[in-house]
Chains A and B, each alone.
Chain A
Amino acid sequence: MLRKKLSLIVLALMLTLSFAFVGSVQAATEITFWTLSLSPTFDDYINGVIAAFEAENPGIKVNWQDIPHAVAEQRTLTAAAANQLPDVMNLNTNFLKKLGALGALVDMDTAAADVKDHYFPGIWKAGEVNGVTYALPWYITNSLMIYNKDLLAKAGFDGPPTTMEESWEMSRVLYNKLGVYGNIITSIHLQLPKEGVYLVSPDGKSAAINTPKALEMFRNYKKYYDEGLIPDELLLGQAKGIEWYAQERIAWFVTGPQLFRQVLDMAPDVYHKSSAAFDVLGSEEVVNVAVMNIAVASTSKNQDAAVKFAKFMTNAENQLAFSKLTAILPSVIEAANDEYFTAGKDSTDAAELGHYIAAQQLQYSTDLYAPVENVTRINRIVNDEIKRVLLEDKDPAEALRDAERLINELL
């Protein structure tokens, strides 16, 4: 009685198991393409590009899958562990560097040598690790300023800051007059290179952070922090700058124009008081550009088809079409020169004006992340050190020495 019932349960379990074994039939050349959080917003666009590619290359079929950002790492790593990486994948720069260094990706300096000079050189370099580039740059965004016209007017200013010194002076007035913040310090690893302080030497072999300029910057930040100009929550990354901007707790915020409309979503009235401006350029006159990349897995069985598709996805025509759908920029020179990008010049909408300014800023844009495998760890080291200086009164010179030592240990 008992045995019978229990074995029935086991049997039922096995039966359900066996349902899973259903094979699938593969076509001649099939490649899989993964994107990050683009569906369903850009379904029509991506499917359109794929259809055009398949029409041009009758033997190749592209399977598109969209992966939410939130699980991108887990999805990629489990797939890799089970030998099921897609042929073509959309990767952010940090993860790309890691994968490239481990030999998981195809060397694009060789595989895409024919199209290399179509892309902006400063952006092509985003996919570089140890002297080799492992991805084609896809869409890019550079950071610029969204600012609150009302708050600035109330503090007695008729426009946003244009130099670093000015931005801190304005921050002081805003804070003392209105209790509102101006400059905030979030990603110190992007602030330092704007003033010519690079975390790592150009050859990627040693730390380059411990310079007099860096010391001066650390000391200045400490001074501003002690005046109360730098809010803890944003320094520590516990609050989102865009939310504080929407709550009118900061008067300006530097981010990509594709995110400006988030303010419209959170606080429409604040968005309508907003306008866009150039990012404050440091001594090096550079702004960081965030690059989305398309890479081909070295395990791909159809590498030629995969590289072909990667090139097609990132060509001038397809990137231009993509840029027209949202406030992103193309990484291909020809597409960026399109007159479309001058259209927002006189717009009163912050995001449209921002799109125009972003395109104008392309000449200053470069990837400011260190071109080494452990870039994530290195950035954390530097950010932790500045936090120690600001929150715990660590001596700036000692902090820089420690950062230098810790970075060298990683290289």
Chain B
Amino acid sequence: MARKNKISRRRLVHTIFVYLCLTLLAFFTVIPFVWTLSTSLKGPNETLYSFPPKFIPQNPTLNSYKVVWTTLPIPRYFFNSVILAIFQVSLPVILCSLAAFPLARMNFKGKNFVFMVIMATMMIPGDITMIPIYIILTKLGLLGSRLGVILPSAAGAFGIFLMRQAFMGIPKEIEDSAFIDGTNTWQMWRYIMFPMVKPNIATFSILRFINSWNAFLWPLLVFTDPKMYPLTVGLYNLRGAFVTNTRLVAAGTIIALIPIMVIFVVFQRYFIQGAYSSAVKG
């Protein structure tokens, strides 16, 4: 009995300690977000740039959100962003996990060469390939279209590398037993491998979504019609040539952040510990 008590007390201390660590860390990571949120809630008579900063608004108001909502076609921008995001998440996830599979699990001639070339593209700064990519898009007639934004990022070294590492982590025994059952290559990818790397797929999807959602340069280079601008680019209109309304920009930032947070939380349900054990048992 006494021993049991001791254990549960130790567990309690441990839990408190973990929460303390978590909270301390979180305190540092949320400061910019809290500043943005508080700025978006401040009225026009409140000081934003006081030093030291004040985080709690005196008279919180949702007015900035109302103004952003009424001055910009938010639903249209939102729609544009969603369309782009659907393709900018699904295409790289599918194409990269297809390409990564043989690079991780098969032996074939030229494998190391292909992998090296793919990795090498990561070493070249994007600013230097920007003009060549733009010229290629022009030649393909993709300027002004959504495809011009979607295709260049439909597959890339980062995703292939991430998924390759994920596939490499799968124990050989699983593959072997599947082969004994007569599984072919496609089935192996689709029904054995792909389900096993779901946490990595989730991670990659989150990252792709954030990249797509926050993309700024390429939508501006490719789209000639402002009606096609995604949300982040559209919100940039809140920064004027001369004076920027910081409260509105902050409100716009928060509006654009909400979908990212939702996606982040949604994809986290694939983060279930021990995905393999269930696969092996099942």
Please tell me whether chains A and B touch each other in their complex, using a CB distance cut-off of 8 A. Answer: yes
Residues of A within 8 A of B (CB): 1-2, 5-6, 9, 13, 16-17, 19-22, 36-42, 65-71, 74-75, 77-78, 81-82, 84, 243, 246-247, 249, 258-259, 261-262, 265-270, 326-328
Q: Which of A9, A17, A37 contacts B241 (CB 8 A)?
A: A37
Answer whether A265 and B48 are a contact pair too, CB < 8 Å, given A20-B148, A21-B141, A69-B241. yes
Q: Give which listed residue, A13, A21, A41, A268, contacts B47 with CB less than 8 A.
A: A268
Contact A38 B47 (CB under 8 A): no
CA distance A42 to B240 in the complex (A): 9
Complex Cα distance, B52 from A249, in Å, reads 12
| Other A-B pairs, 17, CB within 8 Å; known A1-B184, A266-B48, A328-B242 | A2-B186, A6-B98, A13-B154, A21-B141, A22-B145, A40-B71, A68-B236, A71-B217, A74-B130, A78-B130, A82-B138, A247-B50, A261-B242, A262-B243, A265-B246, A266-B246, A326-B242
Evaluate whether A247 and B241 lie within 8 angstroms (CB atoms) in the complex, with A9-B94, A78-B131 already known: no
B268 at the interface (CB under 8 A from A): no
Residues of the B chain whose Cβ atoms lie less than 8 Å from the Cβ of A22: 145
B46 surroundings in chain A (CB, below 8 A)? 268
A17-B48 in contact (CB<8A): no
Number of interface residues of B (CB under 8 A): 45
11 A–B contacts from the bound complex (CB under 8 Å): A6-B98, A21-B141, A40-B71, A41-B241, A82-B135, A247-B49, A247-B51, A261-B243, A266-B48, A266-B246, A267-B50
Tell me if B185 counts as interface (CB < 8 A to partner A): yes
* Whole-angstrom CA separation of A243 from B151 in the bound complex: 41
B134 interface hit (Cβ, 8 Å): yes
- Complex interface: chain B residues within 8 A of A40 (CB): 71, 237
Q: How far is the CB of A182 from chain B (nearest CB, A)?
A: 18
Give the complex CA separation of A191 and B68 in angstroms.
Answer: 40
> Is there contact, CB below 8 Å, between A20 and B147?
yes
Interface residues of B in 108-143 (CB under 8 A from A): 130-131, 134-135, 138, 140-143
A residues near B186, Cβ cutoff 8 Å: 1-2, 5
Cβ–Cβ < 8 Å partners of A75 in chain B = 220-221
Check A2 against B141 for contact (C-beta < 8 Å). Answer: no
Alpha-carbon separation in the docked complex, A40 to B138 (Å)? 28
Q: A17-B147, A68-B236 are in contact. Are A77 and B131 (CB under 8 A)?
A: yes
Residues of A within 8 A of B224 (CB): 65
A78 — nearest CB in chain B belongs to which residue? Answer: B134
**Looking at the complex, which one of B185, B221, B245 makes contact with A78 (CB distance below 8 Å)?**
B221
A20 cross-chain contacts in B, Cβ below 8 A: 140-142, 145, 147-148
CA distance A36 to B242 in the complex (A): 11
Chain A contacts of B247 at CB under 8 A?
265
Complex: how many Å from CA A6 to CA B186?
Answer: 9
Beta-carbon contact of B242 and A266 below 8 Å: no
Please, which residue of chain A has its CB at the minimum distance from the CB of B217?
Answer: A71
Closest to A272 in B: B45
Contacts of A69 in B (CB 8 A): 241
Please report which residues of chain B, range 19-73, place their CB below 8 angstroms from some CB of chain A when the two chains form the complex.
Answer: 44-51, 71
Q: Kindly state whether residue B239 has any CB partner on chain A within 8 Å.
A: yes
Closest to B139 in A: A82
A84 to B139 alpha-carbon distance, docked (Å): 12
Residues A41 and B240 in contact, CB atoms below 8 Å apart: yes
In the assembled complex, the Cα of A81 lies from the Cα of B131 at a distance in Å of: 7
Chain B residues contacting A266 (CB-CB under 8 Å) are 47-49, 246
For B15, what are the chain A residues with a Cβ–Cβ distance below 8 Å? Answer: none
